[in-house]
């Protein structure tokens, strides 16, 4: 019983390492996790005190837990059963597909990534590329929004810079959850965008199980009070005009809304405009094509970035004019339902989408290039003097403002802003400067029309 037993040294080392691993797993890891969780909650609490819209617990829930909640939600279970019957597949196969969709959709939000990296990067990039201006903001109306309400920012989709610009300007209000398309699922964008709280959607998918999983996630996020940012147009406008609303995400939100619940849903219209849209030529090249060529987009983006770097190195880079955002008057879905007289859910959703797009359109700010393009679009002659161009632009601006449009430009600065717009259009060869006249470049007629379209809906006639 008390005899000496010889054990190889390597076994002692393994036993010691296993004992150390057990000590770490049972004592040190829980203690460190508790400490980090406490620090995290303290930081989130301080952050929520600074934000107009607090980050809800739903958004801070671990991704693994959210995936399980979504995949085992009663409505998703019913969707799985319906999928089994429609596709004639076993339950395990249908459930596996639903879980796969849930993993694809649910983001892994990181408050550190969003506020320490995302908002700072978006601020830096926005200011490096543009003169950023806030066109209109009804602070009083935004402050009256019920703190319990879920706020959904609805925006026109002009450029991929929209995500960056709105993240920067809305950083003091809350962390926004974007719905982003399949283009963002490539490495490393997928990991970065997911950590920012965005969720991925397959815009063209007709798979009913996928759409029901997506709908349920949107409804759960809305019920959980997550502030969202939605582009009702469904994609980038290729000709610059404001497009009618596609009702996919809106219908999910409306279908999941309970008028008897404590939490209202409030839509905040957001209008964006740029003196230069980064992708304008690529978008125009894809206009009329059912689906834009992804390779063309990538090569266009790489060419733009390369050219930008060269101009920076040569010291010849000029910022791309103004980028402006306006926030319109909030629209409560509860109040809308009470006043809507539609006979069906589809009609009510369509009416809501139409009303939202009207408000978004009103919020689109007037910028120098869009104003000048609007003037040039109605000018019959191939050339125009600078004096005539400036005077016509001032008259056009006065008419638009009288019609209720917004601009960040103060009246005393109208002349200087128009001058900067002329300079910008000359640099891009939309205008060719002569001795006493500006020639309208016929090769850039589509580009001029593109920027005129960005504010065409603001005219009384809508043209």
pLDDT, one tens digit per residue, over 119-141 is 888 999 899 889 998 887 777 77
For 269-323, what is each residue's pLDDT tens digit? 999 999 999 889 888 988 765 555 544 555 555 555 566 666 555 565 567 889 9
| The pLDDT value given to residue 118 | 85
In a 10 Å sphere around its CB, with 0-12 CB exposed, 13-18 middle and 19+ buried, how is residue 312 labelled?
Answer: exposed
313 contacts: CB under 8 Å, gap ≥ 6: none
State the average pLDDT over residues 200-205. Answer: 81
Predicted pLDDT at 35: 45
Q: Binning pLDDT at 50, 70 and 90, where does residue 450 land?
A: very high
Tell me the β-bridge partners of 152: 228, 267
Q: Residue 138: phi, psi to the nearest 5? A: -90, 85
Q: What are phi and psi for residue 128, nearest 5 degrees?
A: -70, -35
What residues does 440 pair with on adjacent strands? Answer: 431
Q: What percent of the chain has pLDDT over 90?
A: 40
Which of 19-33, 308-322, 397-411 has the largest mean confidence? 397-411
Per-residue pLDDT at 25: 61
CA distance 411 to 301: 37
10 or 416, higher pLDDT: 416
Whether the CB-CB separation of 319 and 129 falls below 8 Å is answered with yes
Is residue 212 over pLDDT 80? yes
* Rg (the chain; Cα; Å): 27
Residue pair 107/63 in contact (Cβ under 8 Å)? The answer is yes
The beta-strand segments (E) located in 181-261 are 199-200, 228-230
pLDDT confidence bin for 176, thresholds 50/70/90:
confident
Convert the pLDDT of each residue in 104-119 to its tens digit. 999 888 877 888 788 8
Distance CA(247)–CA(361), nearest Å, equals 17
pLDDT tens, 364-386? Answer: 999 999 999 999 988 888 899 99
pLDDT confidence tier of residue 421, bands split at 50, 70 and 90 = very high
Q: Cα–Cα distance between 320 and 304 in angstroms, integer?
A: 13
- pLDDT grade for 408, boundaries at 50, 70 and 90: confident
pLDDT tens for each residue of 58-82: 888 888 999 999 999 999 999 999 9
The set of residues, in sequence order, having a beta carbon less than 8 Å from that of 193 and lying 6+ positions away, is 107, 178, 180, 184, 200
The pairing of strands 228-230 and 150-155 is parallel
- Give pLDDT, residue 244: 92
* Higher local confidence (pLDDT), 358 or 411: 358
Distance CA 81, CA 95 (A): 9
> For residues 292 and 341, which has the higher predicted lDDT (pLDDT)?
341
Question: What's the CA gap between 239 and 446, in Å, rounded?
Answer: 9
pLDDT at residue 188 greater than cutoff 70: no
Q: What is the pLDDT of residue 294?
A: 46
Which has more confidence, 203 or 188?
Answer: 203
Please report the domains of the chain, with CATH numbers, ordered by start residue. Answer: 103-278+320-363 (3.40.1130.10), 368-458 (1.10.10)
Residue 168 near residue 123, CB atoms below 8 Å: yes
Residue 173 has pLDDT above 90, yes or no: no
Q: Are 406 and 135 in contact (CB under 8 A)?
A: yes
CB 142 within 8 A of CB 330: yes
Please state, rounded to an integer, the average pLDDT across all residues of the chain: 83
Strand (E) positions, 302-436?
322-327, 331-332, 383-385, 431-433
């Amino acid at each position: 019983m008390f005899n000496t037993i010889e054990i190889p040294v390597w076994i002692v080392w393994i036993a010691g390492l296993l004992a150390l691993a057990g000590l770490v797993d049972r004592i040190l890891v829980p203690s460190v996790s508790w400490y980090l969780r406490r620090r995290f909650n303290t930081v989130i609490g301080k952050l929520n005190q600074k934000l107009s819209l607090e980050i809800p617990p739903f958004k801070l829930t671990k991704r693994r837990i959210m995936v399980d909640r979504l995949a085992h939600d009663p409505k998703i279970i019913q969707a799985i059963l319906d999928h089994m019957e429609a596709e004639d597949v076993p339950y395990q196969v249908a459930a596996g597909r639903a879980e796969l969709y849930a993993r694809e959709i649910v983001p892994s939000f990181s408050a550190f990534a969003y506020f320490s990296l995302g908002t700072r990067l978006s601020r830096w990039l926005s200011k490096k590329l543009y003169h950023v201006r806030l066109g209109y903001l009804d602070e009083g109306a935004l402050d009256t929004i019920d703190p319990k309400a879920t706020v959904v920012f609805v925006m026109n989709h002009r450029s991929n810079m929209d995500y960056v610009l709105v993240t920067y300007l809305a950083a003091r209000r809350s962390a926004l959850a974007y719905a982003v398309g399949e283009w963002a699922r490539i490495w490393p964008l997928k990991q970065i965008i997911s950590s920012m709280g965005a969720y991925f959607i397959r815009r063209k998918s007709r798979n009913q199980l996928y759409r029901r999983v997506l709908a349920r996630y949107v409804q759960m996020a809305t019920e959980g009070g997550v502030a969202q940012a939605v582009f009702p147009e469904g994609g980038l406008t290729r000709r610059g005009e404001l497009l009618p609303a596609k009702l996919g995400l809106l219908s999910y939100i409306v279908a999941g809304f309970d008028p008897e619940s404590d939490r209202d849903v409030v839509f905040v219209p957001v209008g964006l405009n740029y003196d230069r849209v980064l992708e304008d030529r690529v978008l125009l090249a894809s206009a009329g094509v059912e689906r834009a060529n992804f390779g063309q987009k990538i090569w266009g983006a790489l060419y733009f970035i390369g050219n930008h770097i060269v101009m920076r190195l040569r010291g010849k880079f000029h910022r791309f004019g103004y980028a402006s955002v306006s926030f319109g008057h909030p629209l409560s879905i509860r109040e809308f339902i009470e006043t809507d007289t539609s006979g069906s859910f589809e009609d009510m959703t369509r009416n809501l989408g139409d009303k939202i797009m009207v408000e978004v359109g009103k919020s689109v700010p007037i910028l120098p290039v869009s104003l000048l393009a609007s003037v040039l679009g109605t000018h019959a002659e191939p050339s125009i003097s600078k004096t005539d161009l400036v005077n016509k632009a001032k008259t056009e601006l006065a008419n638009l403002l009288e019609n209720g449009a917004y601009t960040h430009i103060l009246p005393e600065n109208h002349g200087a802003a128009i001058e900067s717009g002329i300079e910008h259009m000359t640099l891009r060869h939309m205008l060719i400067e002569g001795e006493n006249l500006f020639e309208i470049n016929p090769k850039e007629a589509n580009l001029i029309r593109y920027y005129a379209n960005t504010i065409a809906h603001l005219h009384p006639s809508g043209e």
